[in-house]
Amino acid sequence: MSTFTSLRSDGMRWDKAGSSESRTSSTRSGKTQYRLIEDVEDLDRYRPGGYHPLQIGDELDCGRYRLVHKLGYGGYSTIWLARDLRRARYVAVKVITADTSGCSPEVRFLYSLGNSPSRPGREIIPPLIDDFCITGPNGKHRCIVTSPAQMSLFDAKEASTFGLFRPKVAQSIIAQLIRGVAFLHQENIVHGDLHLGNILIQFPGVIDHFSTSELYERFGEPESEAVVRLDGKPLLDGVPARVFIPGWFGVPSDEIVLGDEKIILSDFGESFNPDKEPRFSSKTLPLLQPPEARFLDQPLSFPSDIWTLTCTVWEIFGQRPLFEAFFPSADRVTMEQVEALGILPPEWWRKWSRRLEWFNEEGELDLKPETSRGHDGVRRTLDKRFDYCIQEPRAEAGLETVTEEERRAFEGMLRSMLAFRPEERATAQQVLHSEWMKGWGLPALEQSRRTFDSHES
């Protein structure tokens, strides 16, 4: 029996607050001043302009929010589970580094989306509960308060033996996500960083009834390690004496049942309005970046979100990512895209100088000795990837495989979203009204809501 091992070339893991930054100190390059501690933020970023030093028990915003656990971190923030003492509930407090607190668009977009007309898909956008600033030894930090989440979809898959969601659960999550992206695009917002780490599973409402001690009894107490300089010198004022390891509040992906898979779309730090803010480069993970980010010298827009949405939908539906590479250079990513989807548009194909290392001029696979390592020589088309990423892992895990009818509709939807030219790619509204959404995605979402309502009543 094989088990799921994530193939991630970038060494990244994601936290329950939706950060897409590295969670493992050992993956960082360059020298550090501190003894290595795994699964914490970059300790060298505790300096002027960087992280704000915090400890469990600290109170923020005039004593309203008391930190009780750590949810996660990113390159530009630490995220904490806090008790809102004014409202007797738990919240997530994202404390942004001082050097990005003044330029992050996240608060602006969350506020705008929270005040937009209620439409399908808005329900996955986290409501902005509060925002405020704190000043410390490393500068002034913006704090964003939203509802907390149990885990990211990435973390749920990582915790599972097979890295799969149950079929109906996967269908419902995909439907929620497509509706949410369609809502964002109607509001003229490109998310800019769609991936499994930025899609979170909501906490059940019952958590608000737990006292802090009951929370620790159920999920474990916060764990911390002392911060120690390698040169033996004392820590500077802006460096915490102890650093906390993010807690685990989630469940493996295959244990999520229908009715418990309500999602939140998080991390709007890379979001933009394409009519007002021209964006020429993609900031999401290399393997998810759309081809126009490399081959077109024009601003990105909504189609770039559709490409990354497709890659994310694929990974929710099955076990493995659509595109994989241990070292995802731009050329290796393009190679994966061409192998799966076919030859690039002619002007892009000519522009790609290294195309003949993997293909002939007609776009047929033609591996050279130096590029064939680890490849069996058989072209991994979208159809073949569907079999080994989705069908075979589901069968091995004892889950229902995809019927031929659903497969035809699902692949048809994805192919319309993976057109190389952005102007030929399906829009979010077209995806929302696709055959797969009507026949499988939306019915699963409706069944989930009925299940949830029956449990609540």
Side-chain-facing half-sphere of 2: CA atoms under 13 Å = 11
CA-CA distances (angstroms) from residue 29 to 10, 24, 287, 393? Answer: 12, 11, 21, 35
Q: Are both 263 and 182 inside the same structural domain?
A: yes
The pLDDT tens digits for 321-350 are: 999 998 899 999 999 999 999 999 999 999
Q: Are both 70 and 214 inside the same structural domain?
A: yes
| 438 annotated to bind ligand | no
Q: H or E stretch including 217?
A: helix 212-219
Predicted confidence band of residue 387 (pLDDT cuts 50, 70, 90)? very high
Q: Are both 120 and 258 inside the same structural domain?
A: no
Among 248, 277, 309, give the residue marking a domain's end: 248
> What pLDDT, on a 0 to 100 scale, did the predictor assign at position 374?
66
Q: Are both 361 and 408 inside the same structural domain?
A: yes
Contact 131, 142 (CB under 8 A): yes
Exposure string for 62-101, b = 16+ CB within 10 A, e = fewer: eebbbbbbbbbbbebbbbbbbbbeeeebbbbbbbbbbbbb
Among 219, 248, 277, give the residue marking a domain's end: 248
Among 248, 281, 305, give the residue marking a domain's end: 248
Asked if pLDDT for residue 7 goes beyond 70, the answer is no
Euclidean distance between CA atoms 294 and 180, whole angstroms: 27
The pLDDT tens digits for 372-383 are: 666 777 899 999
| DSSP helix, strand, coil percent of the chain (3-state; round to 5) | 35, 15, 50
Asked if pLDDT for residue 178 goes beyond 90, the answer is yes
Q: Are both 212 and 314 inside the same structural domain?
A: no
Q: Are both 175 and 233 inside the same structural domain?
A: no
Predicted confidence band of residue 23 (pLDDT cuts 50, 70, 90)? very low
Predicted confidence band of residue 6 (pLDDT cuts 50, 70, 90)? very low
Instruction: Give the dihedral sign, CA 114/456/150/200.
Output: negative
> What pLDDT, on a 0 to 100 scale, did the predictor assign at position 371?
73
> What pLDDT, on a 0 to 100 scale, did the predictor assign at position 377?
79
Q: Where are the alpha helices (DSSP H) in 371-425?
A: 382-386, 392-396, 404-417
The pLDDT tens digits for 240-259 are: 999 999 999 999 999 999 99
23 domain-assigned: no
Least confident of 22-31, 61-70, 106-115, 144-153: 22-31
Q: Where are the alpha helices (DSSP H) in 125-211?
A: 153-158, 167-186
The pLDDT tens digits for 254-311 are: 999 999 999 999 999 899 999 999 999 998 999 999 999 999 999 999 999 999 999 9
Asked if pLDDT for residue 122 goes beyond 90, the answer is yes
Q: Could you identify the residue written with the tokens 């030929």?
A: 424
Q: Are both 289 and 333 inside the same structural domain?
A: yes
- What does the pLDDT average to over 27-41? 83
Encoded amino acid at 181, one letter: V
- What does the pLDDT average to over 176-188? 98
> What pLDDT, on a 0 to 100 scale, did the predictor assign at position 117?
87
Encoded amino acid at 182, one letter: A
139 SS3 class = strand
326 domain-assigned: yes
Q: Are both 314 and 447 inside the same structural domain?
A: yes
The pLDDT tens digits for 141-157 are: 999 999 999 999 999 99
> What pLDDT, on a 0 to 100 scale, did the predictor assign at position 140?
97
Q: H or E stretch including 445?
A: helix 442-456
The pLDDT tens digits for 224-244 are: 999 999 999 999 999 999 999
Predicted confidence band of residue 456 (pLDDT cuts 50, 70, 90)? low
DSSP assignment letter at 253: G
Query: What's the number of domains the chain is made of?
Result: 2
Residue 335: which CATH number? 1.10.510.10
Q: Are both 116 and 127 inside the same structural domain?
A: yes
Q: Are both 225 and 361 inside the same structural domain?
A: no
Give percent above pLDDT 90 in the chain: 85
2 domain-assigned: no
Structural domain harbouring 341: 149-203+251-456
22 domain-assigned: no
Residue 132: which CATH number? 3.30.200.20
Q: Are both 241 and 382 inside the same structural domain?
A: no
